[in-house]
Structure 1
Amino acid sequence: MLSLPNLLTLSRILAVPILVFLLWKPTPLDYLITFVLYCIVGITDYFDGYLARAHGQISRLGQFLDPIADKIMVAAVIIMLVSSRKSSGEPIIHGLHILPALTILLREIIVSGLREFLAGLSVSVPVSALAKWKTTLQLVALGALILAGSVPDQAWVHDVGLASLWAAAALTMITGWDYLRTGMRHMD
């Protein structure tokens, strides 16, 4: 069913190739355009769920697509920020800061696999409030890192993005452990 919430979710998925294209060989203007698009896409993440609940339009399609949309957007942006360069020639995410990015990517793969396994056992693992905060912090971190490319003379924006990325990785590990612990109860 293509309700407004589902269309918003689909728009997030369709925005990913545009975000990737804009981050391919970005100029400061490309980073700014990417930041604006990224913010719009991030806002739809909130509104698709809100509208689905408010109007009683929660659907299986939406429940399936929403986490996928989040994961592919976060994964694509992380990969592009590892390869994208600031005006100084340094990658946006580099050095030890690749560790929280990698932690986020690996957790998403593990939790997705765990959810698929548990679904085969008819076990539902609801999204926790902490996991929602984790997603929000990831979106803020990546948004700040994208914005940092458009304002290279404002190093503090990049620092905020990196600090938020580390904080998001910490929440990622906590929520990943919670999901894994829940899943272990259903394994032989």
Structure 2
Amino acid sequence: MNLPNKITMARICMIPLFVVVFYLDVIPCNFLIAAVIFVLAALTDALDGHIARSRNLVTNLGKFLDPIADKVLVSTAFILLLTEPSVFSAPFLLFNGGEVDAVLAAETAMRITAGVCVAVILARELIVSGFRMVAAERKLVIAADKLGKIKTTCQDISIAVLLASMSFLDTTAGQIAALVGLVFFFLCTFFTVLSGINYIVKNIQVLKESD
């Protein structure tokens, strides 16, 4: 196994550690530590790709493992965030003076909205994965585009900031951080839909029957 693949495997191994730390609230600032683990895991994605391309170490194993590692990491993070709805409603404390009924209503609304957004994000990833599988069978190359990269950037920022903010949601700074994370979360959802549509339109030939 070459170096890029070892880095990818390390990223996969970081996922269960990320989950354990997220739920291990006996650790001070466990959400902040989980955010650091997520950022490190996300950075290894850029690192293994750079090493593989620059040293001509691209392998079929790497092509298989890398996208799986990315999707499992991000999917896990979003699902974990949905189990802590307070992170989505905390920003409203900045504007309503902390009224309990308003916060509860906001939490319910945001939990539903966030759930729908995560479902859209995961659906897009499944659709794109399906396209890539069909393309691989037909020996077609599908290049990454700028919209997809913007989506990934917004995705990583939103997850990291939301996770970090959860250790300080009872403070104004934590609520502001959650608001920033929420903005990137909705930007991520927007670019997920946009890049998904663009991806399908640009690569619709993948689904056409060959003559």
**TM-score if structure 2 supplies the norm length?**
0.79
Which residue in the other structure is 1:165 paired with?
Answer: 185
Shift of 1:85: 5.3
Which residue in the other structure is 1:66 paired with?
Answer: 66
Determine whether 1:150 maps to 2:167. Answer: yes
- Whole-angstrom distance in 2 between the partners of 1:128 and 1:145: 26
Which residue in the other structure is 1:21 paired with?
Answer: 20
Stretch moving more, 35-44 or 128-137: 128-137
- Contact kept, 8 Å, 2:85 with 2:111, in 1: the verdict is no
How many percent of aligned residue pairs carry the same amino acid? 30
Question: Cα deviation per residue 1:50-72 (whole Å; 9 max; x = unaligned)?
Answer: 11122221222222211111100
Shift of 1:109: 0.9
Determine whether 1:96 maps to 2:113. Answer: yes
Shift of 1:86: 4.3
- Contact kept, 8 Å, 1:118 with 1:183, in 2: the verdict is no
Shift of 1:79: 0.6
SS in 1 for 2:203: helix
Question: Cα deviation per residue 1:97-142 (whole Å; 9 max; x = unaligned)?
Answer: 3232221111001111121122222222121232122112111111
Which residue in the other structure is 1:45 paired with?
Answer: 45
SS in 2 for 1:49: helix
Shift of 1:31: 0.3
Larger Rg: 2
Where does the alignment leave 5 or more consecutive residues of structure 1 unmatched? none
- Contact kept, 8 Å, 2:154 with 2:184, in 1: the verdict is yes
Shift of 1:155: 0.4
Determine whether 1:124 maps to 2:123. Answer: no
RMSD: 2.2
Equivalent position amino acid for 2:78 in 1: I
Question: Cα deviation per residue 1:156-183 (whole Å; 9 max; x = unaligned)?
Answer: 1111111101111111112111221233
- Contact kept, 8 Å, 1:97 with 1:162, in 2: the verdict is no
Shift of 1:41: 0.8
- Whole-angstrom distance in 1 between the partners of 2:25 and 2:153: 25
Where does the alignment leave 5 or more consecutive residues of structure 2 unmatched? 91-103
Distance 1:85 1:19, change over 3 A: farther
- Whole-angstrom distance in 2 between the partners of 1:15 and 1:86: 25
Q: Report how many aligned residue pairs link the two structures.
A: 186
